[in-house]
Amino acid sequence: MKDNLNFNEYKNSNLRDVSHLPIAKHLTHDIAILSAIMVTLPVFIQAPWVRLAPLSASLFTMILLISGVIIECRGPDNWRELGVLLVGFSGSWLGGCLFWGWYRLHPIWHLPLEGFALPLAIAGLNSRWQLASFFYLASLGGTAITDAIISIIGLMDLWPIVLSASAEEAPNSLQEAAKITLQPGVIPVILVAAIGLIYLSRILWRRDSHPGWPVAASALATTLVVDSLFLITALVSPQLSGLI
């Protein structure tokens, strides 16, 4: 009788464990998709908003932050990860608003302003807001890689020139700057960086010990996609790039 009970307990526990696996995998993919969307949003929404009204765009951070906290604390269970990601996204959003709204002509301030919440993000790795920290840190890492490549290939000095150009001259200035990426000596640098970013994203994606790793992988991979789309747009139709 005792053996039968033990067998039933063992069988039921295995069924319970297995039943959670597809759900966990599904949630992981959902969270990764949300992370990718949040990396993309600034290009289509934040960039034009900040150019027109930087103060209101910055104040919108409070709505993102408060919404994230409320969703995490009081929302349905399957929405709570969205709330946590919104908290991390609010940090990236505010950093972008501060730089692009008031310091866009000074690229040296890009990383310091985008990374203003770095201490909070590191501290959050040991809290209930871990997903927020993973997202913010991965987004900041993608920004740092992009800035490093821009600096290495010699585009950093052209940054303030393009952004300070008149409305008539800006598209041509941006297009000429983008053409530098097509030079024979520059293409290998960009390819190595792209391959390295893809490889890093794959490594992070395969780490299933915590849902934060797929979030970080998604954020980094999406950074590569967004940068690629921006480069193509700057070459083909610079006025649609969102930068000018």
Domain ranges of the chain: 2-40+109-240
One-character DSSP codes across 183-210: STTTHHHHHHHHHHHHHHHHHHHH--SS
32 within 8 A of 54, measured Cβ to Cβ: no
Q: How many CB atoms lie within 10 A of CB 98?
A: 20
Per-residue pLDDT of the chain (244 residues; tens, 9 = 90+): 444 434 344 334 333 333 333 334 555 788 899 999 999 988 888 988 998 999 999 999 999 999 999 999 998 888 899 999 999 999 999 999 999 999 999 999 999 999 999 999 999 999 999 999 999 999 999 999 999 999 999 999 999 999 999 989 999 999 999 999 999 999 999 999 999 999 999 999 998 778 899 999 999 999 999 999 999 999 999 988 878 7
Phi, psi of 210 (to 5 degrees): -155, 140
